[in-house]
Amino acid sequence: MARVVVFVALFGVLTAGPVVAQGVSVTADVVYGHKYGMALTFDVFTPANAHGAAVLNMVSGGWRSSWRPHDVSQRRYQPLLDAGFTVFAIRHGSSPKFVLPEIVPDVRRAVRYVKRNARRLGVDPNRLGVWGGSAGGHLSLMLGLASDEGDPSSEDAVLRVGNRVAAVVAYYPPVDLRPLARGSDPANGNTRFPALNFDPSEASSVSPIIHVSSDDPPTLLIHGDADGLVPVSNSHEMYAALQEHGVKSKVIIIPDADHGFVGADAELAMGSLVDWFVEHLGVRTSNCPVTTGTLARPLGSARIDFCGSISEIPRPSVTAGLCRGVAAGGQE
């Protein structure tokens, strides 16, 4: 009986195939590693018009990484899928069980795994972007700014592969963890974000702003100036460091937006995100579908071309008190 049970379990793993939903093939729970006996997994969303470029989304809030129903994730990713990007939903070893220096290696491994298995996954290993918000934005910056070429002496074939990515987008990321590391003493611990309860001596190793260098990939930062959790100064300082090192970078500051974009702010951020990846992951815009929407608050009537840029169409009757602008800076 034990043999039958094991066989059935293995058979289920080996035969689980992709599910197709609204023209998107979803391959769930791909195991990219193991940690203390637990599987590290990601889901793959492959559109019918996939062109080989891919975006790895860091599923992380407060460095907690939770499973989401595939239809919920797909709705969030739809603008990227419409533009032909394959999207990976990357889950890592989650807080509160793991602290930050234990989490960063997980997402690095995910990139290595995708690169090593790129042909099987249907993506180009040289056209990978990473994206996340808040803790996920922090992890995306760590992938972009603190990558390596792999360890050729490792017995683990995945660890022999580099984890460099081609482009980064980070929403409202914390960029300097040195003031936030609380140590392992429960009396001094951070109960809201237990991933920060690690030795302060390790904080520099997981602080993106420490790792900026001139060969870093193009990086887009998007932040609200009313963010009450991660101050907008984080993106200002990160952008200044990137510019100082000559890294192609841009910052978009959304007036009055808080932590966690919603409504028109979320539309604006996603449009800018897709635009950035189209530009920097080698996507031909001529084959890219266009989605048009209305941003009622920031720009009046606006056309969002998810494969191009966001262009303002002035609305004559907009009241000054209701019209919100978008402050942007960048090296082109």
Q: How far apart are CA 324 and CA 312, in angstroms?
A: 12
Residue 22 lies in a domain: yes
pTM above 0.85, yes or no: no
Identity of the amino acid at 70: H
Which of 11-15, 73-77, 84-88, 317-321 has the largest mean confidence?
84-88
Contacts of residue 251, defined as CB under 8 A and 6 or more positions apart, other chains included, come to 220, 221, 222, 223, 235, 236, 238, 239, 328, 329, 330
Q: Which phi-psi region, left, alpha or beta, contains residue 134 (left: φ > 0; alpha: ψ -120 to 50)? A: left
Q: Token pair 């009313």 is at which residue?
A: 226
- Domain interval for residue 45: 17-289
Residue 298 lies in a domain: no
Q: What would the mean pLDDT of 310-330 be, rounded to a whole number?
A: 35
Q: What would the mean pLDDT of 121-141 be, rounded to a whole number?
A: 97
Residue 3 lies in a domain: no
Residue 105 lies in a domain: yes
Q: Residue 158 maps to which CATH number?
A: 3.40.50.1820
Counting every residue written for the chain, the total comes to 332
Beta bridge partners of 133: 171
Number of domains in the chain: 1
Q: Is the pLDDT confidence value at 21 over 70? A: no
Q: Report the chain's mean pLDDT, rounded to a whole number.
A: 81
DSSP E strands, the chain: 19-21, 24-35, 38-47, 54-58, 86-90, 128-133, 167-171, 219-224, 249-254, 301-304, 310-313, 327-330
Residue 308 lies in a domain: no
What is the per-residue pLDDT for 5? 35
What is the per-residue pLDDT for 328? 57
What is the per-residue pLDDT for 142? 97
Query: pLDDT tens across 225-269, in order?
Result: 999 999 999 999 999 999 999 999 999 999 999 999 999 999 999
Residue 61 lies in a domain: yes
- As a whole-number percent, the residues of the chain with pLDDT over 70 amount to 76
Query: pLDDT tens across 43-90, in order?
Result: 999 999 999 999 999 998 778 777 778 787 889 999 999 999 999 999
Contacts of residue 8, defined as CB under 8 A and 6 or more positions apart, other chains included, come to none
Residue 121 lies in a domain: yes
What is the per-residue pLDDT for 115? 98
Residue 312 lies in a domain: no
Token pair belonging to 195: 């991933």
Identity of the amino acid at 72: V
pLDDT-based confidence at 330, cuts 50/70/90? low
